[in-house]
Amino acid sequence: MLLNRAYYHVKPFLPVSLRLALRRWRARRRLAQYRDVWPIDIRAGQQPPGWPGWPGGAKFALVLTHDVEGARGLDRVDRLMALESRLGFRSCFNLVPEGEYRVPHELLDALRDNGFEVGLHGLKHDGKLYSSKAEFGRRAVRIRDYLSRWKIAGFRSPFMQHQLGWLHILGAEYDGSTFDTDPFEPQPDAAATVFPFWVPAPGQSGYVELPCTMVQDFTLFTVLGESAIDVWKRKLDWIASRRGMVLLNTHPDYMDFGPNRPARDEYPASHYEEMLNHIRQEYEGLYWHALPQDVARYYTGSLDPARRNTRKKVCFVVPDSGEAAARARRYAAALTARGDLVETISCVGSGVAAAAREIIRRHRETRFDLVQFHDRLDLLCCTAWPLKWSGAKLALDLSDLPCTRFTAMAGALADHVIASDGRVRDALNFAARAKCSVEHHVPVAVSGGNRLCRDDTPLPVVAGNPQDLEAATIGATHEENHEYVRLVDSLTTETFGG
């Protein structure tokens, strides 16, 4: 993230040729490294629990969007709109309200009058929207104004950057700033699903996230240098077979409509036309072609809040056996059953340094919302700051007490502690009295219903094993799992003002 911020500060001063060279160099390195999850990540094809299917029994949904980055792209909107209209398609054009062009109101009217949708593409196209919460807050005021005045339902961040927990203050119905998988993006963490999902805010409010599930045109043709649409066709067939959402995002800025020689960052617009013809010929009558706002409204209208998949990303660091491993398996099953993405890392036989590197590497690829360490205080202490700095919440599940002071230190680093041994009480109280280094949460120990407090405020209790359940008035194991799921939501449902 720090490198990204530095890059976008110097980007205006870098020539296009150098920027392209850097992107291509990075892409070549990542292409072999991520061949198992790009362009297809098999995890993304799992249908969410309770998924109602698409309207009319359609095999898949087709959503087309375009990000209009600069003046060059704005000049080509009419031609792209005409191309799609001629072939019987409609799409959403995401416009930058305060970028290098000004949006004519006549364009907004023309798009809507012809059945297209208008979306908002940040405030400025400079990569600085998420440079700090203060900067985001300042821009959010103007973004909300444009969403209201232009009667816009959806938002997408420039450069596909995202801090999903911050977006609630915008009041948009949906966001489209994530991918199911794309290691070539500046922020490469994946949503790992080809279905819409819900981003909840406290209470029952929230918004729908519509991940891009097809490779962006600029990545495919300009960065990777592909000269055909075979990757698009392959991904389309795979998503259709999983009955998911085909969301293809392209940029008129990089489409060459002729007749002049294309610039080094452009590709023939005929590639996009070929893809639309392929969809129409191979899948006619089998898909639901919808605008993004229609998909978001169908999702919220078809699924009540309790059934909406949130797609949390949780990692368990576990031993191979024992009560801690069994508890992790129960928790993982409960999260997976509601559609969350769960990964497990077993570090048995690995040195602490190697295991810590693996945890950080996996987090960099997936960007976990929560990492839970089961009896691995050493690994928590070694990885806490890189994980927390990049936004992950940390939980520590203790079933033993190797060292009182070590436990206190780990407890101070964790956002939450689940404890099944009464001997940890003093160590955790020591951490609480030290005020820890935790921003939003304080460790909680469970032993006979014990509660730790910070500033005299009671904190929720999570039971660590069946013996503690009765004392904590929770009940059976399935209720323990339910309480754990609530804990995950409370830890990972970030609010902008938090």
- Output the pTM of the full model: 0.84
Query: What whole-number distance in Å separates Cα of residue 94 and Cα of residue 307?
Result: 30
* Contact yes or no for 138/109 (Cβ under 8 A): no
* Contact yes or no for 200/307 (Cβ under 8 A): no
Q: Which domain holds residue 244?
A: 2-306
Q: Which CATH number does the domain housing residue 32 bear?
A: 3.20.20.370
DSSP annotation of 465 reads S
Same domain, 86 and 226: yes
Same domain, 318 and 301: no
Enter the tokens of residue 275.
Answer: 């893809």
Same domain, 211 and 321: no
Same domain, 71 and 98: yes
Q: Which CATH number does the domain housing residue 409 bear?
A: 3.40.50.2300
Residue-wise DSSP of 309-347: ----EEEEEE-SSSHHHHHHHHHHHHHHHTT-EEEEEE-
* Contact yes or no for 449/473 (Cβ under 8 A): yes
Same domain, 353 and 272: no
Same domain, 217 and 296: yes
Last residue of a domain, one of 306, 326, 345: 306
Same domain, 264 and 369: no
Same domain, 319 and 301: no
Establish if 498 belongs to a structural domain. Answer: no
Based on the structure, what is the number of domains in the chain?
2
DSSP annotation of 49 reads T
Same domain, 21 and 106: yes
pLDDT tens track, the chain, 498 positions: 555 666 666 766 678 788 888 888 988 888 988 889 999 999 999 999 889 999 999 999 999 999 999 999 999 999 999 999 999 999 999 999 999 999 999 999 999 999 999 999 999 999 999 999 999 999 999 999 999 999 999 999 999 999 998 999 999 999 999 999 999 988 888 899 999 999 988 777 899 999 999 999 999 999 999 999 999 999 999 999 999 999 999 999 999 998 888 899 999 999 999 999 999 999 999 999 999 999 999 999 999 888 888 889 999 998 766 777 787 888 888 898 888 999 988 876 678 888 899 999 889 888 899 999 887 777 888 898 899 888 899 888 876 655 544 555 655 677 777 765 555 555 555 554 443 433 333 333 333 333 322 333 333 333 333 333 333 333 335 667 777 888 888 888 776 654
